[in-house]
Structure 1
Amino acid sequence: MKVAVLLITLLVPLMLVGVPAAALSLPEWLKLGLHAEETQGPPRPVVSIIVEDRGADARWIPGVVSSRTQVQLGFQALGRMIARPVDLGDQVTKGEVLAQLSTDDLAATTRAARAALDAAEVQQRTARATLERTEALAERNVASSAQLEQAQQAAISADAAVEQARSQLLQAEDAEGFARMIAPFDGVISAVYEAPGAVVGVGAPVLQLSAEDAREVVIDLPEQALVGMAPGASFSVWHRNDPGAEVTSVLDRIDPIADSATRTRRLYLTLPPDAPFRLGALVRARFGTAEAPSLSLPVEALMTDDQGSTVWRVRRQDDRAHVERVPVTAAAPFRGRVAITEGLEAGDEIVIRGVQSLAEGQAVGRRLEP
């Protein structure tokens, strides 16, 4: 077998001697690999988006316009409410009567306290007269020291009884005054909890009064949506029926404790004084304004490693384009998107598909809509 292979190896060169050069050229099907670069197609297209502030079409959060100063009002005495001259939405002024309890029982208590004070004052006058007589007798050695001491103790006890009765009368008069609920400041009745005829307990809420001096929007957000958000952040607020009339509001404070049921935190956005929203109005809010837009990307566009977060930005010039890796500062993902706080500008083209298969400076083709 080895001998046969050797003979073939020696005979092939001899057979090729004198063969024309054209006969030695490679067939066409073997030449494809030599021209691979010449037959290569255009760069691959990329699925990308243009980063922009999407205005009213962006993800919005429902909110309610409320007052920064609002209190729930109740009575400081137990009783039956016989009148409530105000209703939901009424404008009230400081000192105006908002509700009233029946004063029959309270008036009887006041009369009893006043009678007790009268009786105590009679006892006081009697004890003082007795003390004066005993002191005069003691000076003439007619009354003993024990009698004088007993008269002094009786006078002191009578004085104390008068003070106690006077204090009880003041408490009864205050309780009778508590039967009238007075507005502590100018405002609007923003909630009603009890109707006339109901028996209300001490401190039970009857009305809610909201001041109109400072209005704010109350919204709720989950914990992950608050990453990178601090007091002073700007929000856009608008009414559903008038999305073109946006009002800029500023984040004033965030509740430090999450709601036990929804696990969300409450945010309070301060409205400007000329905001065209009434108390209790349902509005929509979103992070960012026209002057300081809020940029966000689908979470698939973000690449995160030990060095931080990066995205692929497409640079186009004439008919050529390439990608570059850009570091960004991003908040936590929320509803499939992530807010970009630093690193990008409105108008940047960002790749959102196949980000793991790209390389720095790689040429790319046309842009495809996601």
Structure 2
Amino acid sequence: MNPNLKKSVWPVLLAVALTATGTALIRANKVETTSVERTPMPVAATVYREQSTYTRQASYLGIVRAGSDSVVGFEVAGVLIAMQAAEGMRVAPGDTLAQLGTDRRQARLDAASATFNRVAAERAQAEARAERIARLVEDGSASAQDYDDARYAAQALLAAERTAAAQRQSAQLELDKSTLRAPYEAVVAERLVQTGAVVAPGTPVLRLVTAAGREAHIGVPAKVARNLVVGNTYPLLLQGQEVIAPLRSIRDDLDPATLTVGAVLDIPEGTSVAVGESVVLKVSETVASSGGWLPVTALLEASRGLWDVLTISVDEEGKQRAHRESVEILYTRGNEVFVRGTLPSDVAVVASGLQRISPGDLVEPIFSAAATRPGT
């Protein structure tokens, strides 16, 4: 063979071999990288059902007050010489709380008593004289004028005796009012003056609250107040525990500071609660707004205050795919939210695991026992 021809054939054969090898590799690679349709992903699902209203639990803050909370003081002036009441002490009606000095009032009472005794003696003497003169008039030993003078003198002394008795009673009352006594069964909440102080009539000395009978005073909006019924019971939250209390009254006026109406509920006897504690009234309210309930886990935060949900619908090929819809939250209740948005009623919604799914993905909804399938 010609050596030159032999040299020219080898490059041609090498090129043909490389071309065949490359073609085979390209075909092999094409087969391996061809995409395969993904299998549907199992997802927890629930059903969104639209409704025209929803019920929410509204809470209104109030304060615990005593059935009677008052300040007491003396009706007369004087120097406070003793204070038997101490803060936190329980007192019964008539118990001594405080004492004013009584020296002057005792002297005034003694003088009034002496005056009464003197006038009473003079009145008795005048009546006896009038009786004697009456007998003398019968036998002619005394004139009718003498009898009239004796009789009218006895009547004048009787009037003076009554005046002296009233003065003695007034002095006794002032002496009695020098002692401050408990008007009802109560607990001493606060001492407002100290021993040795000069107090005027009506000066607050002690603050008393009733030992029993606690009330919840709560301000509610006027619209809510119109739906409350006096005599019905409502739940109160006290120290984290719920108690049922009857509604005693609703005020007719609107508080200008809070723009609320006052409601008063009687806290049941035996409830351990202190005056001044906070109390919460829980009221169920029906709100007229269309929407539906979804679990919190069915929502994915979006922009502009909205939230995304993934609905499940059948495509043209009869396969179930996820589709994005936007909603807004109207009310939150535990692990549920009441929402409204672009999703239709009676549609299946992905209940959880939204981070694993994208719109358009094939899904296989799995409904829990509580969530029925759409259309059922």
TM-score, normalization: structure 2?
A: 0.59
Query: Which residue is equivalent to 2:247?
Result: 251
Query: Which residue is equivalent to 2:279?
Result: 284
* CA distance in structure 2 between the aligned counterparts of 1:201 and 1:169, rounded to whole angstroms: 23
State the SS of the aligned residue for 1:237: strand
Query: Which residue is equivalent to 1:207?
Result: 206
* Amino acid aligned to 1:283: S
Query: Which residue is equivalent to 1:20?
Result: none
Query: Which residue is equivalent to 1:62?
Result: 62
* CA distance in structure 2 between the aligned counterparts of 1:110 and 1:353, rounded to whole angstroms: 87
Deviation at 1:205? 3.5
* CA distance in structure 2 between the aligned counterparts of 1:193 and 1:222, rounded to whole angstroms: 36
Cα deviation per residue 1:299-340 (whole Å; 9 max; x = unaligned)?
xxx4xxxxxxxx314489x947xxxxxxxxxxxxxxxx99xx
State the SS of the aligned residue for 2:63: strand
Query: Which residue is equivalent to 1:96?
Result: 95
Contact 1:48 1:353 in 2 (8 A): no
Number of matched pairs: 270
* CA distance in structure 2 between the aligned counterparts of 1:200 and 1:78, rounded to whole angstroms: 6
Task: Give the alignment of 1:313-352 within 5 angstroms.
Answer: 313-314=291-292, 319=312, 350-351=338-339
State the SS of the aligned residue for 1:88: coil
TM-score, normalization: structure 1?
A: 0.60
State the SS of the aligned residue for 1:133: helix
* CA distance in structure 2 between the aligned counterparts of 1:225 and 1:100, rounded to whole angstroms: 50
Deviation at 1:296? 5.9
Identity of aligned pairs, percent? Answer: 24
Cα deviation per residue 1:229-280 (whole Å; 9 max; x = unaligned)?
12224032222xxx3x3333332222344556655443222222232212x2
State the SS of the aligned residue for 1:121: helix
State the SS of the aligned residue for 2:245: strand
* Amino acid aligned to 2:201: V
* CA distance in structure 1 between the aligned counterparts of 2:192 and 2:152, rounded to whole angstroms: 54
* CA distance in structure 2 between the aligned counterparts of 1:87 and 1:264, rounded to whole angstroms: 37
* CA distance in structure 2 between the aligned counterparts of 1:121 and 1:257, rounded to whole angstroms: 60
Deviation at 1:186? 3.1
Contact 1:48 1:352 in 2 (8 A): no
* CA distance in structure 2 between the aligned counterparts of 1:189 and 1:282, rounded to whole angstroms: 17
State the SS of the aligned residue for 1:98: strand
Contact 2:50 2:345 in 1 (8 A): no
Instruction: Out of 260-269 and 133-142, give the one that drifted further.
Output: 260-269
Q: Does 1:312 align with 2:282?
A: no
Contact 2:71 2:204 in 1 (8 A): yes
CA-based RMSD of the aligned residues comes to 4.0
> Greater CA radius of gyration, 1 or 2?
2
State the SS of the aligned residue for 1:255: strand
Instruction: Out of 188-197 and 255-264, give the one that drifted further.
Output: 255-264
Deviation at 1:133? 3.3
* CA distance in structure 2 between the aligned counterparts of 1:137 and 1:114, rounded to whole angstroms: 35
* CA distance in structure 1 between the aligned counterparts of 2:209 and 2:293, rounded to whole angstroms: 54
Query: Which residue is equivalent to 1:151?
Result: 150
Q: Does 1:116 align with 2:127?
A: no
Deviation at 1:348? 9.2
Deviation at 1:99? 1.0
Cα deviation per residue 1:125-150 (whole Å; 9 max; x = unaligned)?
33223313322331232322222112
Contact 1:46 1:366 in 2 (8 A): no
Q: Does 1:139 align with 2:134?
A: no
Contact 2:50 2:346 in 1 (8 A): no
* Amino acid aligned to 1:95: G
Contact 1:73 1:206 in 2 (8 A): yes
Deviation at 1:83? 1.8
Contact 1:221 1:265 in 2 (8 A): yes
* CA distance in structure 2 between the aligned counterparts of 1:123 and 1:296, rounded to whole angstroms: 85
User: Are residues 197 and 237 of structure 1, via their aligned partners in 2, closer, same or farther at CA, if it must alter by over 3 Å?
Assistant: farther
Deviation at 1:168? 1.8
* CA distance in structure 2 between the aligned counterparts of 1:266 and 1:89, rounded to whole angstroms: 29
Task: Give the alignment of 1:197-276 within 5 angstroms.
Answer: 197-231=196-230, 232-239=232-239, 243=240, 245-259=241-255, 264-276=260-272
* CA distance in structure 1 between the aligned counterparts of 2:249 and 2:183, rounded to whole angstroms: 25
User: Are residues 181 and 315 of structure 1, via their aligned partners in 2, closer, same or farther at CA, if it must alter by over 3 Å?
Assistant: closer
Deviation at 1:169? 1.0
* CA distance in structure 2 between the aligned counterparts of 1:154 and 1:264, rounded to whole angstroms: 71
Contact 1:47 1:353 in 2 (8 A): no
Query: Which residue is equivalent to 2:364?
Result: none
Contact 1:51 1:346 in 2 (8 A): no
* CA distance in structure 1 between the aligned counterparts of 2:60 and 2:208, rounded to whole angstroms: 29
User: Are residues 104 and 162 of structure 1, via their aligned partners in 2, closer, same or farther at CA, if it must alter by over 3 Å?
Assistant: same
**Greater strand percent: which structure?**
2
Cα deviation per residue 1:6-35 (whole Å; 9 max; x = unaligned)?
xxxxxxxxxxxxxxxxxxxxxxxxxxxxxx
Tell me, which stretches of 5 or more residues in structure 2 are unaligned?
1-47, 295-310, 314-329, 352-376
* CA distance in structure 2 between the aligned counterparts of 1:208 and 1:101, rounded to whole angstroms: 18
User: Are residues 162 and 88 of structure 1, via their aligned partners in 2, closer, same or farther at CA, if it must alter by over 3 Å?
Assistant: same
